[in-house]
C-alpha cells in the first residue's frame, strides 16, 4: 500500500476500493501510518466527498479493527437505540430500562458529550460509584442477568474509531457525514445488537442543527445498517428546545428516575414512548406501533 497514492486519489476526487480502505485503516490503527498522513486523507475526503461504497468500506474496516461481541447466548432479539444527541436529551436513561422491562434485551454502547450536547455516560457517572467500564464478558453476563447493559466504548471495540475521532477533532473534519456514520455504526455493529433504532436530532440544541443535513445523516445510517444485515429504523426529532425540564448530568438523572416512577413530562415522554414502541416492534413483542405504545405505557405506569 502506498499511502501517498491513496491521499492523491482522494485529493483529485477519485474513489478508493474496499481493499485500499481496509489496508489504510489497519495500518493506521497499528501505528504504521502517521497522523500527518491520515490527517491529509481525512481532509482530502472531507473536501471531495466519499461514495456510499467507500463509507461502507470505512465502517467495515473500523469494525474489523477490534472485537465484535457475540451475544448469541442471550435469548431474544437484541435491540439498541442511538441518539445523535441534544441539550437535555435524557431519553436513553428512561428508554433502555423501560424496553428491557418489556422483555427485550437492550445492549447499549453509549457516548460522552459532543460539542454542546450532553452524553449519556457523563449522566450515568454522576451517580457515585457507577461504572460504565466493563469488558465484553461482564457486558454479556449483565445482559443475560438483567436484560440491559449500558457501557462506554472499550479499548477493544473499534479502536480505529478512537484514533480517528481524536484526529478528526483537531483537523476540523468531525461533521463529515461519512465519518459520522462510520464512527456510529462501527460501534453499534460491534456491540452485538440485532436491530437498531436511531434518534436523529435537528434544531438549535442538536449536533446537526439543519434539518436537511440531519435527514441525510439518518438516511446514510439506515443504509449502512441494512447493508450489514441489521434491521435499522430512524426517527427525526426536533431539539430546538431541551427535552424535559432538567439540564445537567445529575438533574437529568433525577428527572429520568422520576419519569420511570410515573412522572409525566409530556415532551420527554412523547419521544421516549415513540422510540420504545419502535424497539418493541423490532424486538418481536408487538406487530404494530399502536399496540407497542400501549405496552410501553403499561410498563411505565
By annotation, the residues acting in catalysis are 82, 161, 168, 183, 187
Q: What is the rounded CA–CA span in Å between residue 299 and residue 301? A: 5
> CB–CB of 214/251 below 8 Å?
no
Residue in 6, 43, 301, 21 with CA at minimum distance from that of residue 160: 21
Which residues, at least 6 apart from 182, have a Cβ–Cβ distance to it below 8 Å? 55, 58, 59, 62, 161, 224
Q: What is the rounded CA–CA span in Å between residue 226 and residue 295? A: 27
Facing residues of 235 across strands? 199
Q: What is the rounded CA–CA span in Å between residue 199 and residue 238? A: 10
The x, y and z cell numbers of residue 110, run together, are 453509549
Residue 148's SS3 state is: strand
> CB–CB of 197/79 below 8 Å?
yes
Amino acid at each position: 500500500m502506498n499511502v501517498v497514492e491513496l491521499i492523491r486519489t482522494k485529493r483529485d476526487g477519485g474513489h478508493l476500493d474496499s481493499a485500499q480502505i481496509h489496508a489504510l485503516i489497519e495500518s493506521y490503527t497499528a501505528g504504521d501510518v502517521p497522523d500527518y498522513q491520515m490527517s491529509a486523507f481525512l481532509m482530502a475526503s472531507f473536501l471531495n466527498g466519499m461514495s456510499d461504497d467507500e463509507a461502507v468500506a470505512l465502517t467495515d474496516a473500523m469494525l474489523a479493527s477490534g472485537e465484535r461481541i457475540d451475544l448469541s447466548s442471550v435469548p431474544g432479539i437484541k435491540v439498541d437505540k442511538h441518539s445523535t444527541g441534544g441539550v437535555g436529551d435524557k431519553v436513553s436513561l428512561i428508554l433502555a430500562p423501560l424496553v428491557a422491562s418489556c422483555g427485550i434485551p437492550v445492549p447499549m454502547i453509549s457516548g460522552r458529550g459532543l460539542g454542546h450536547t450532553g452524553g449519556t455516560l457523563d449522566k450515568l457517572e454522576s451517580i457515585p460509584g457507577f461504572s460504565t467500564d466493563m469488558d465484553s464478558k461482564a457486558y454479556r453476563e449483565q445482559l443475560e442477568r438483567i436484560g440491559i447493559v449500558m457501557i462506554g466504548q472499550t479499548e477493544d471495540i473499534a479502536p480505529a474509531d478512537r484514533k480517528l475521532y481524536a484526529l478528526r477533532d483537531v483537523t476540523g473534519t468531525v461533521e463529515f457525514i461519512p465519518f459520522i456514520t462510520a464512527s456510529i455504526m462501527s460501534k453499534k455493529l460491534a456491540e452485538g445488537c440485532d436491530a437498531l433504532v436511531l434518534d436523529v436530532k435537528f434544531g438549535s440544541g442538536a449536533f446537526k442543527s439543519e434539518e436537511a443535513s440531519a435527514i441525510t445523516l439518518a438516511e446514510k445510517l439506515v443504509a449502512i445498517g441494512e447493508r450489514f444485515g441489521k434491521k435499522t429504523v430512524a426517527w427525526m426529532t426536533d431539539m430546538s428546545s431541551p427535552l424535559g425540564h432538567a439540564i445537567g448530568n445529575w438533574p437529568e438523572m433525577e428527572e429520568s428516575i422520576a419519569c420511570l416512577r410515573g412522572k409525566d413530562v409530556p415532551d420527554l415522554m412523547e419521544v421516549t414512548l415513540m422510540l420504545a414502541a419502535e424497539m418493541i416492534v423490532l424486538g418481536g413483542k408487538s406487530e404494530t406501533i399502536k399496540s407497542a405504545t400501549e405496552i410501553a405505557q403499561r410498563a411505565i405506569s
